Amino acid sequence: MQRGSSKCELCGFEHTLSVYEIPPASDPSVEQSILVCETCHNQIEEPEKMDVNHWRCLNDSMWNPEPAVQVMAWRLLKRLDSEDWAQDLLDTLYLEPEVQQWAQAT
Ligand SMILES: [Zn+2]
């Protein structure tokens, strides 16, 4: 909550927040979790319900210094990579090698 300033770390929404553990969560620590709102959470869990326009928020959140947020942003952009804008963001998103490895772990 403190790290995310009590906002969804993906879209900035301030309500219906919960903690999402990023799989594979070997240890359920704060470093491997992000704070997300219900809208983001539902779409992370159910890829077929992805609302493309909602994820324009990744334009900002992918620059979050927190590796867990970067990993989630990268994975979501991968899901959306049939969209030109998402592909463009993926092209500009640089991850440290160990973060990249984590992003590709599932
Ligand atoms: Zn959200």
pLDDT digits (tens, 9 = 90+) for 30-42: 889 999 999 999 9
- For residues 24 and 75, is the Cβ–Cβ distance under 8 A? no
Measured between alpha carbons, how far is 37 from 34 in angstroms, rounded to an integer? 10
pLDDT digits (tens, 9 = 90+) for 53-102: 999 999 999 999 999 999 999 999 999 999 999 999 999 999 999 999 99
pTM equals: 0.93
| C-alpha 84 to ligand 1 mean position (Å) | 22
How much is the average pLDDT of 41-50? Answer: 94
| C-alpha 43 to ligand 1 mean position (Å) | 10
| C-alpha 9 to ligand 1 mean position (Å) | 7
Measured between alpha carbons, how far is 44 from 58 in angstroms, rounded to an integer? 13
pLDDT-based confidence at residue 1 (cuts at 50, 70, 90): confident
What is the number of other CB atoms lying within 10 angstroms of the CB of residue 54? 14
pLDDT at 45 over 90: yes
CA 32, 36, 38, 39 torsion-angle sign: negative
| C-alpha 105 to ligand 1 mean position (Å) | 23
- 24: preceding bond cis by omega (within 30 degrees): yes
> Would you say how long the chain is, in residues?
106
